[in-house]
Chain A
Amino acid sequence: MSFRKFLVEFRAAWFLAIEYRISVFIWIIAIVLPLIMLAAWLSIAQNGSVGNFDRGAFISYYLAAVIVRNMTGVWFIWEMDRDIRLGELSFRLLRPMNPIIHYMALSLSSKPLRVVLLVPATILVLLYVPGVQLTESPALWIIFMLSLAGSWAILFLTQYIIGLFGFWITQSLSLNDVWFGAYSLCSGYLIPLTLLPPPLRQAFEVLPFQYTMSFPINVLRNQLTAGQAFGRLLIQWVWVLVFYSAYRFVWLRGLKRYSAVGA
């Protein structure tokens, strides 16, 4: 039953995305950070390579980063913050549906538009830019798709948890900025993790961030065997479970708080 509720919420959110289609396209194009990083690396790697990255590897890496960012990025916390501050969350609490379903639908609604834009763009790059390589293994493509879902789930749950902090503090948005900073650095979004100094790399290895970016990129770039990729996928989904439990914990306490201090 929850899935049917999700579908109807998704439908409404999709209509909204269509309503705002121009803005959605602008947001898609606005993901330029990886391209800026790419330009910087290309100028550094003009006469050869950096680490095991040559020109083609850098372009493949940041192409994959743009794809992963578009497919797994979440930007609903502003909506959530507004709902909590203006008390509109109250209406969501009075409906027989967990509000998280609404925000899930909202967060996924622009994804189809992104696919429509990304698929032809990727094909063009593959055809016309020399040296760009993505995996051709069907097994890795399947794992890549699943890893996108896992990455989205981690990013969605963490942003939702930060949004729920809005029950206690009014600055959940700035907390989100701090989180985004950590994510940009530790996930491999800005700099390939293998190019970082070893101690830093080992530290980031134990954090969840790399499973949201570096891992799917490496699968897509054919850097892992199917067996290795599958192992990492399992770890990624363990992180999803961890954040899901954290969400339940914060949610139940947040509700108590919300109901105590005035909805």
Chain B
Amino acid sequence: MSSQISVSHLSKFYEVHQKEPGFLGSLRAFIRRRYQTVRAVDDISFEIGEGEVVGFLGPNGAGKTTTLKVLSGLLYPTAGDVTVCGFRSFDRQNEFLRQITLVMGQKNQLIWDLPALESFEVNRAIYEIPRADYQAVLKELTDLLDLEPVLGKQVRKLSLGERMKCELAAALLHRPRVLFLDEPTIGLDVTMQARVREFLTEYNRRHGATILLTSHYMADVVALCKRILVIDRGHLVYDGELDALVERVSPFKYVRIVTQRPLDAASLARFGEVRSVDSFEATLIVPRDRTSAVAAQLFQSLPIEDVTIEDPDVEEIIGRIFTEKILSP
């Protein structure tokens, strides 16, 4: 697997001026601005191979969007090297721009007062897509995203979900090899989120496109990405498989039991840590490697009606990483 995205010791610092509150503060700032350096991204390195789908996680302000902007060539790095598809991103050569795309769920790049089809037409010309290819790609995207009914409607009259699908289509008309997706499902309802996820999976499968995406919805990441990068305050704190992270951060499972007679916490303590007890139901926290043994013991000692073994919620795990600072740089 050849490396499609290569990031080596990337740093991006900003100078931002501090706005002091109040009228006097703004007057002071007018005369003499005070600057502060923000280390948005601080010495991170990683490689992403062709066709990989990688999730980029981190709390707000961790440096995810900054990294995506550097990778797509919008920002030039303070230090370090970035290569995408064999190009230095920041040079923004046309051959490079034709191979990538950036979708930001919170921004709109379609022409607001015209039908989406007009924006597509503009992109066709700008990316110099041959007419026949354009027709084929448009047909494929229309089928995959179910765009037929919305193509002729003015963008401003579309629902958020419809617009997002058009945004994705517009961003993929030139069939980019690398997709940078910043919160592509933000604000969408659950069904539409699932629809976008299915689409991205299918798109990746068909075209072997490399995808780097950020999302606040763990379901996106779980469904799409085997590998994740975790960034916190500018530092890369984890790079590896999502499953491995889950095991490392929470090396236990939940064993939920339903019995025929009421339970109490004290009698359950010998099987594992008790997470909750509610008369006939209880949940135990059990180390991963002991779950089957514990389940067997439970069957022997209690009048069990039902046992379920569950992984902890990924959302919860990732939340713990940041609140408890489990992965420190």
Contact = CB atoms under 8 A, between A and B. Distances in A.
B91 to A, nearest CB: 11
Contacts of B69: 90, 262-263
A90 B74 contact: yes
Nearest to A87: B107
A87 B90 CA distance: 17
Nearest to A13: B111
Interface stretch (A93-101, A157-165, A244-252): A93-101
Interface of B: 14-15, 66, 69, 72-76, 90, 92, 94, 97-98, 100-102, 107-109, 111, 113-114, 118-119, 121-128
B114 A15 contact: yes
Interface residues of A, number: 28
A96 B98 contact: yes
Contact of B126 (A88, A96, A256, A259): A96
Interface string A1-44: 10011011101100110011000000000000000000000000
B75 A91 contact: no
Contact of A88 (B72, B102, B107): B107
A9 B125 CA distance: 9
Contacts of A7: 125
A202 B227 CA distance: 71
B75 A263 contact: yes
Contacts of B128: 1, 96
A4 B14 CA distance: 38
Contact of A94 (B73, B76, B124): B73
A16 B75 contact: no
Interface of A: 1, 4-5, 7-9, 11-12, 15-16, 19-20, 86-88, 90-91, 93-97, 256, 259-263
Contact of A8 (B75, B97, B109, B122): B122
Nearest to B154: A19
Contacts of A19: 113-114
A86 B109 CA distance: 11
Highest count of chain B CB atoms <10 Å: which of A7, A86, A263: A263
Contacts of A96: 94, 97-98, 126-128
B94 A15 contact: no
Contact of A16 (B14, B72, B92, B111): B111
A105 to B, nearest CB: 10
Nearest to B70: A259
Nearest to B111: A12
Contacts of B100: 94
A170 to B, nearest CB: 12
Given A4-B125, A94-B73, A262-B14, A12 B114 contact: yes
Contact of A12 (B66, B72, B121): B121
Nearest to B114: A15
Contact of A5 (B14, B109, B126): B126
Contacts of A9: 122, 125
Given A9-B122, A259-B90, A262-B14, A94 B74 contact: yes
Nearest to A16: B113
A86 B104 CA distance: 13
A263 B94 contact: no
Nearest to B95: A96
Given A4-B125, A259-B75, A93 B109 contact: no
15 contacts: A1-B128, A7-B125, A9-B122, A9-B125, A12-B111, A12-B118, A19-B113, A86-B107, A94-B72, A94-B73, A94-B92, A96-B128, A259-B75, A262-B14, A262-B75
A26 to B, nearest CB: 17
A220 B76 CA distance: 50
